[in-house]
Amino acid sequence: MHNLMQLAMICYIPEFKKLKPKYLEELPEKLTLYSQFLGKRPWFAGDEITFVDFLAYDILDLNCIFEPSCLDVFPNLKDFISRFEGLKKISYLPLHSLPPVWPCEDVLFPLHLLP
């Protein structure tokens, strides 16, 4: 969750444009850890989906919204995202068209960037 908090904090502060490059510079190192941990397994805790996968999906998805190309060098993470979004009970949701309903909605829509 630390990565998610870092992303949320960047999007909430007025120095967003100044801090974004540093965050993006450090992001591949953080994503490498997720990629290495996931390895060749389908889910983060093994062969069956668990709540950990929901947390990981949230972090990875928000980073993809923040920087769409961030997973390009991590095929196993891209496969994880596709696998998660392809789950029968999840795939019917248009995930990116839902309005944000949680406290970190500014990660998706930084209010301080509006004119």
For position 92, what pLDDT does the model report? 54
Mean pLDDT, rounded, for 36-45? 97
Q: 44: domain CATH number?
A: 1.20.1050.10
Answer yes or no: is 17 within a domain: no
Alpha-carbon torsion, ordered 42, 27, 72, 37, to 10 deg: -20
Instruction: Specify the number of domains making up the chain.
Output: 1
Q: What is the pLDDT of residues 1-22, one digit of tens each?
A: 577 888 888 877 888 888 899 9
Placement of tokens 């496969």 in the chain: 79
For residues 111 and 70, what is the distance between their CA atoms, to the nearest angstrom? 23
* Model confidence, pTM: 0.75
For position 112, what pLDDT does the model report? 45
Mean pLDDT, rounded, for 86-94? 69
Q: Name the residue range of residue 56's domain.
A: 2-12+22-108
Answer yes or no: is 113 within a domain: no
For position 2, what pLDDT does the model report? 74
